[in-house]
Structure formats: C-alpha cells, structure tokens
Structure 1
Amino acid sequence: MRKLGSRSIGVLVAAVFAATLGLPAWAKVTEHAPGAGGLQSVIDAASSGDVIRLLPGDHTGPVKIEKTLTLEGEEGAVLRGPGNGSVITVEAPESVVRGLEIRGSGTDLFEMDSGVFVTQTAKGARIEQNQIIGNLVGIYLHGAADAVAQGNTIVGFREGRTSEAGDGISVWNAPGAQVIGNEISFGRDGIFTKTSKRNVFRDNTIRNVRFGIHYMYTNDSEVSGNVSVGNNVGYAIMFSDRLQVTDNLSDGDRDHGLLLNYANGSEISGNVVRGRLQSVERWTAAARIGGTHGVPAEAEASVGTAPYSMRLGPEKCVFIYNANRNRFTDNVFEGCAIGIHFTAGSEGNAMAGNAFIRNRNQVKYVGTRHLDWSYEGRGNYWSDNPAFDLDGDGIADKPYRPNDLVDRVLWTAPQAKVLMNSPAVQVIRWAQSQFPAILPGGVVDSRPLMAPPAQDGAAK
C-alpha cells in the first residue's frame, strides 16, 4: 500500500473538513465586516465555489450573485437594501444564500421587488435558514428550475392593503422547485405558484395572510404537511391538475379551509380542516391583544370548557367549484358552517373515509342529480347520523342523507328559517323519511361509517 505524505494528508484533512461544512474542498472563505463597504466588489472578485461570509452587524445591499458561490451570514448579520429593487438577486446556478437577516426591498409589485429574487438562470439555487423581514416579496423563484427555499422565516408587510402587499414566497414557471419548512406570516399570500409543474410545498407554517397556499396553473405537484392558521383561505387550488394534497392542516381559517376551483384529477387525503373553540368575547379580546387573528394561549388549553363554548371555524371547510375526477379520502372536516359546499357541475369525484364532525350543515349541494358519496364499499363518518350497526361491520344499516327538501328551500329562501320549528316543516321532514322517493336529488352516502377513521397524517 502506498503511504501518504504529510502534504497529501493535509489536503485530505482539509477536504474532509470542507465536506462536513457542505463546502467544496477548493472553496475559499472570505469574511466581510459590517461597514467595510464594497460587498458587491467582494462578490465580483470571488471565484466560482467560494464562500462570502458576513460578520454580525449591518451590511449594505443590494447585491447581485452572477457566479456560483455561497453568501452566508454569522448570527446577527443583516443585509439591508436601500428601499428599492431587490435586496439580493441570484443569477448563477447552484448558488446558496444562507443564514442572513434580509431587509429593505422596494415596494413595486410590477418590478417584483423581493428580499431574494432568483432568476431563470439560477437553476438549483438554495435559499435557506434566512430571516427575511419586511420586504414586498420574501423569496421569488422566477423561472429557477429545481431551486429550493427551505427553513426560512419570512414576515411580510403588516400594514396597508393586502392587495398592495407581496407574497411570502412566489414561484413562477420553476419546474421542480421545492418550498420546505418555512415560517411565513403577513403579506398577501403565503406561497403563490403560477404556471409551473413538479413542485413540492411541504411542512410550511403560514399565518395572517390572504391565501395560505395559492395554486394557479401548476400541475403534477405536491402540497403536504403544511399548517395554515388564521388566514382567509387555507389552501386555494385553482386551474391545476394531478396534485397530491395530503396531511395538511387548516386551523381557524376564516372563509374556506380548502378551495378547489377547476382543479382536476387530484388526490386529497389525510387533511384536517377545523375551527377553534372560543367565545365571541374572548375572540375580540384576542384581537386586541395579539393582532387581528391573535388567540390567547389559555384558549388552546381550555378547549371544551367555559367560556370557550362557541366554535368560530371557517365558513366552509371545503368549497368545490367545477372540480372534476378528484379523490377525497380520510380527511377531517370539523366545526364549519358548511362541511362541503359542492357546486357548478363537478363530476366524477370519489368521497370515502372522510369525517364530517359538528358542522352546522354537513353538505350543501346545489344540483338535482343523485350523488353517492361512498367508494368501493366504504362511505364517510357523519357526526349527526343517528344510525345503528346491528351486524357490527362498522357500516350503518341505513344510507345517510345530509340534506332534504327543507334544506333546498332554505338555500333559495333564507328568510324561511323562521318556519323551521313549525308543524308544517316537521311533517315534510317526517314524510321524506317515510317515503324516500319524494326526496330531491342530492348527496347520499350508501355506506356511512359508524366511527371516524384513524388519523395518522402529520397535520394531526
């Protein structure tokens, strides 16, 4: 065996050390002190593969990365833009921006001003472990295929009109891009993707925005393990096909937990949409103390006890509008005004193993066709189904119908609610139960479950 000389051993040790840091063995590390000036000239003078490390303190941007390198910060390093344009523009493939606090982008939506703007030429770039605070758009993956935004904390504009704010992370035409494990709050949308494919949005937590995750014209992608809290809509899936929407949580989103509009051929499974137990008085107090969507810590610890007696969940757990050939399995829809609002000619959707729990109206179906919400001999669990299971097979002995003729009257003439307790309404409902043939078209579960399915997803 050939013996290594001392010089060879030194090179080997350096290579191993560099590898443990995730750096190429030939990487040169250049430290830059705050106030030293000329950060762009340091970046321009670096060689491909080098590392520019910012020391703690304020550094002046903007900067542009035009060759493959790593721009990273020690704890306390702040890169501050001048209030116009993007703070960091990444143009080189496989570049890394890591460990920085990034502030001071411009406010021009047309120019896409961002904390970090990643261009089409920056394939495989990584933006990770940064604090991106008070920028118009936090991270913009603009055509950057296979780019990754991971482990960042992004706080957008807290004041002003939502329509004039930017998104936490925007993805445009970036095939294979991944957005993983980010904490996003404030601004317009948490994660917005448009005209893309093969994307992965996983394990992100999003609060206090309009739409938590907003899909437009993005196909063959994954949305999994995300948490949406206190947004207008948790997950808005529009004009997108063949998605895997799995194990996500919508907690207290106001309008819809999950919205599907022209979304087709997707798997929707293991998701949880739920409201919160609070009294109106405590909700108002929370808003005064913790912001518009603040929730006092004691509320979470006092679920089911006075004074937290009123469930203020989403208006609709799920809204399905012209969405076709999707499969909904093993989801939990709990504590909404409407469990599922199903409308506008949606066809070929399979529903099985879902749990509809304590929704004021389990289903609102606007249509005259009969729809059987069971699939391959398995239906769904309905908390208001007073059923028996005499043969003990876990399936109720009678089909379940969430709506009747009276419901249809109330949808078209809400003022008829004043008659709900009248003898005439009670006679109509009794007649329908005795003569199912007079029931209008609508949803029926021919194999309703006696107990909710076990939930094993990450969102639980």
Structure 2
Amino acid sequence: MSRNRIRSLMPHGSALRVALLAFALAVLPSTAVCAESSSNSGSSGKEIPLQQLIDEAPPGGTLKLAAGTYRGPAIVAKPLRIEGADGTQIVNESDQPAVELRADRSAIAGLAIRDTGAKTTAAVLLSGADSTLENLRIETVSSGIHLRDASRNTIRSTTVGWAGPDVKMTEKGNGIDLYASHDNVIAGNTVTGMHDAIYIENSNGIRVEQNEVNESRYGVHFMYVNDSSIRGNTGARNITGAMVMAVKSVEVTGNTFVKQSENVNSQGLLLFDASDSVFADNRLEGNRVGIYVEQAQKNVLERNRVTVNYVGLQLKESENNRFQGNDFQGNVIPAEATDSQNNDVKGNYWDSFQGVDLDGDGFSDMSYAINPFFQKMTKTTPPFQLFFQSPGMAFLEGMLTSSKRAWTTDRAPAMKPYAADAYRPPAGSETAGTLIVSLLLLGSAVTTIFVTGVRRK
C-alpha cells in the first residue's frame, strides 16, 4: 500500500478513536457505579467502608446500598438520603456512632445496624434538623438513637434492642434518647430490653405515638418536658410504663401499660411534679400500682381503666387535680391517698364500694372515702404490711376515723363501670386469692419469727 494511501486512511482512524473516547466517557461512570454496587453485594465477604461511599455521593442525592455488610463509623455532613436494600447491614466496633447525621435534611432508611463498641454515645447520633430515621433495626451495647440539639425530626418504624451480655439495667443505655431537641415525632417504633426505652429531657413539642416499649426501666420517660404528648403506646414488663416528671401541658392518652409488677417501685403510670396536663383513656392492668400521683397539681385524670393492680390509685401530696369517670376494678387495694387536699374526685367506679342510688341518676348518693390509715401505718413501720387485709387492721381502720373530713373522697361514685367489657374476676378467685394472701402472710410471719429467734441465739 502506498504512503499516500495510508495517509488517506488516518483521518478516518482518528475519527474512530475520538468516537470511542466519547463513548467511553459517557458510559464508564455509570458502569463504575454499577460495578461498585455489585461489589457491595458481600459476595467477597469483605466489609466496605461506608464513609467512602458517603464522601463520593453528591449533596442532596440518594445513596442506595445493595445487600451486604458495610463498616462504620460514618459521618453524614451534607444533605443526603441513605437507603438500604434487604440484607444491608452496618457493623461498628468503634467508640463512635455507627452513623452520625450532622447535616439538616438527611435521612437513613432500611438499614440493620449492629453496634458492638462500648461508648457513651449511641449507635445513631442525629444533631441536624428536618431529618428522618426510618425502618432501622438497631442492636447495640450502648444506646440506640441520640438526638442532641436536633429539631423537627422523625423517628419511625424502627426497632432497638440490647445486643450485649446479660447485665444490670443501670449498665445499659436508652433506646431512643432526646435532649434539648424540640418538635420531634417518635412513632411506630419498638424498643426492648434497654435502660429507658424512650427518654425525653429538656425538650418541648414532642409526639410519642404508637410505640411498643417492653422490658426496660421506664417505657416512656418525660423529664422537664412541656407541650408534648404520649399517645397510643403499649408497654409490658417494664418497671414503670410511663414516667412523667416535672412536666407541664402534657397529654397522655390512649396508652396501654400492663404487667409492671416485678419491682417494688413498679407502676403503670407515674406522675411526679406534673401540672396542667391530661391523662385520659389509658388502660393500666396487672401492675403493682396502676396510677401513682405525687406532688402533682391542676391535672385531669379521666376515663382511665385501672384493673387487677395491687393498688389502683396512689395519691400523695397532690392537690387541685380532677379525677372523674375512671374505672377501678379488681384491684387488691382500690386507692390510697395521703396529704392530698382539694382534689375534685367524682363519678369514678369502685367495684369494692357498695353505693346507694335513690334518685336513679347512675351515681351513688353515698360518698366513698379513701382511708389513709394502712398507707400511713406501713410508711412508718414497713413490717406492718404483713397484716394487710387482716381482721385486726380492718378493725383499726374502721375505728380511727376522726380525721375523715380530710380524706380524699369520691363525692358521687358511679354505680356501674364505664367500660363496655367490664372486668369480672374468675369464679372462685376471691376465695383462692384470700387463701393465697393468707398463706403468704403466714409464711412471711413464720420466717420473720424464725430468723429473729436465730439471731437472738
């Protein structure tokens, strides 16, 4: 072939090379992302650093993680949404959060996070605003989620559980923990086996709704919280279902707390230093104390169903509260009240009280006074609890009524329970219950006498 012929072909070859180069530049970037996604599948068994992928993602975009294992810790310092497919897991053994969201308008969703590094912070730390944590599955040996100075965020459809060894509850962290974080929504989550399942402190405008909180110290714990709500949550086998302390303008409605009974300080619902708040339509069943109220004022407690607790209502040093339309059924002690004045108690149903309704309005013409004798006696001398419901104690309660005018009194008890499915004890349970209590008291008394005798020798 002549040299001129070869030269005549060169422009065409150059054009081909240019076309190939343009094609490569257009196609290779997307091919690299696909390759990276395929490498995320975990087939190689390697953990991929999550931070590297976050750094490469554009601000305001979405980082989609394929199934596989990714290594933390990672920090999100720009608006970004991270989504995980089924089988996506973040593992973190460091003393830093597995994922920390610092930027506003961020989100993580669909991730399983296993956080095994001991730390004072949480598996997920959120300090931004207008962000979302959803559909996460967190296993931790510290705390689950911390919000710090973070406002207008949402935590939903997330599970948090303890992944460490069997330790004391005080050695665990909280499931979902907010501090100085306002106007946040916590909805549809499940927290099990933590210190406090949901803990809120120094935060206002918080909505805690439709969560399940089990086997923790406090299921929901409000401390120095105003203008917030606890609605439609369920909790079981905690020390206390909901603890609301130093709160104002809080709504606690439609919750169910059962079987808080394994600790001497167990309650379904505990109010301490609460004011100007509403506690209504809650179900409190099988707890040591159904509702415990101390140093609380100007609250409304109505339409609560308090059944099969050891003590239905315990009222201490509280005034100017309204108790109306509550059902107290099947409780061993319906109510105890000391040093509580000027409370408006009316229209509650007490199954242990036999009222008289002469005018047929559905309310008793006789009042129901809550005798504080046993509560005061056992407070000063706790061993006297051995004589609970004994004939001698009942006789003393009936004799010492000189201060009856100061007792907390339901002015017009309801003649029938409000709940359509009224509690009915099983047949023969009263006799069996009395026998069991008597045997327990007898056993305790014999043990006390025996131990005392041994010590004296």
Task: Determine if the TM-score, normalized by the shorter chain, exceeds 0.5.
Answer: yes
- Please name the residue that 1:349 is paired with: 321
d(CA) in 2 for partners of 1:382, 1:419 = 19
Question: TM-score with structure 1 length normalisation?
Answer: 0.76
Q: Does 1:274 align with 2:274?
A: no
Q: Does 1:453 align with 2:450?
A: no
Within the candidate set 247, 253, 257, 2:254 is matched to 247
- Please name the residue that 1:297 is paired with: none
- Please name the residue that 1:118 is paired with: 126
- Please name the residue that 1:415 is paired with: 384
d(CA) in 1 for partners of 2:324, 2:305 = 11
Within the candidate set 186, 206, 226, 1:179 is matched to 186
Within the candidate set 342, 346, 349, 1:381 is matched to 349
Identity of aligned residues (%): 26
Q: Does 1:69 align with 2:76?
A: no
Shift of 1:170: 0.4
d(CA) in 1 for partners of 2:117, 2:279 = 38
- Please name the residue that 1:366 is paired with: 338
Q: Is the 8 A contact 2:70 2:89 kept in 1?
A: yes
Return closer, same or farther for 1:151/1:49 CA change in 2, 3 Å cut-off: same
Return closer, same or farther for 1:355/1:71 CA change in 2, 3 Å cut-off: same
Q: Is the 8 A contact 1:60 1:80 kept in 2?
A: yes
Q: Secondary structure at the match of 1:44?
A: helix
> Rg bigger for which structure?
2
Q: Secondary structure at the match of 1:242?
A: strand
Unaligned runs of 5+ in 1: 1-27, 276-313
Question: TM-score with structure 2 length normalisation?
Answer: 0.77
Query: Where do 1:3-402 residues align within 5 Å?
Result: 31=37, 32-34=40-42, 35=46, 37-109=48-120, 112=121, 114-119=122-127, 122-157=128-163, 159-254=166-261, 255-275=266-286, 314-344=287-317, 346-367=318-339, 369=341, 371-374=343-346, 379-402=347-370
d(CA) in 1 for partners of 2:68, 2:89 = 6
Cα deviations by residue, 1:225-256 (Å, 9 ceiling, x for unpaired): 00111001110111111101000111101211
- Please name the residue that 1:288 is paired with: none
Mean alpha-carbon deviation: is it higher for 346-355 or for 397-406? 397-406
Shift of 1:390: 3.5
d(CA) in 1 for partners of 2:410, 2:348 = 7
Q: Which amino acid aligns with 1:88?
A: V
d(CA) in 1 for partners of 2:247, 2:375 = 32
d(CA) in 2 for partners of 1:184, 1:58 = 24
Cα deviations by residue, 1:303-354 (Å, 9 ceiling, x for unpaired): xxxxxxxxxxx2211211111111101001111221111113x121111011
Q: Which has the higher helix share?
A: 2
d(CA) in 2 for partners of 1:266, 1:392 = 33
Q: Which amino acid aligns with 1:106?
A: G
Q: Which amino acid aligns with 1:248?
A: N
Shift of 1:260: 1.0
d(CA) in 2 for partners of 1:49, 1:208 = 39
Task: Name the count of aligned residue pairs.
Answer: 377
d(CA) in 2 for partners of 1:97, 1:222 = 25
Q: Which has the higher contact order (CA 8 A, sep 6+)?
A: 1
Return closer, same or farther for 1:166/1:95 CA change in 2, 3 Å cut-off: same
Supply the RMSD in Å over aligned alpha carbons: 2.6
Q: Is the 8 A contact 2:336 2:371 kept in 1?
A: yes
Unaligned runs of 5+ in 2: 1-32, 422-457
Shift of 1:181: 0.3
Q: Is the 8 A contact 2:209 2:233 kept in 1?
A: yes
Cα deviations by residue, 1:290-314 (Å, 9 ceiling, x for unpaired): xxxxxxxxxxxxxxxxxxxxxxxx2
Cα deviations by residue, 1:177-230 (Å, 9 ceiling, x for unpaired): 110000110121000011100000000001111110111111100100001110
d(CA) in 1 for partners of 2:184, 2:377 = 48
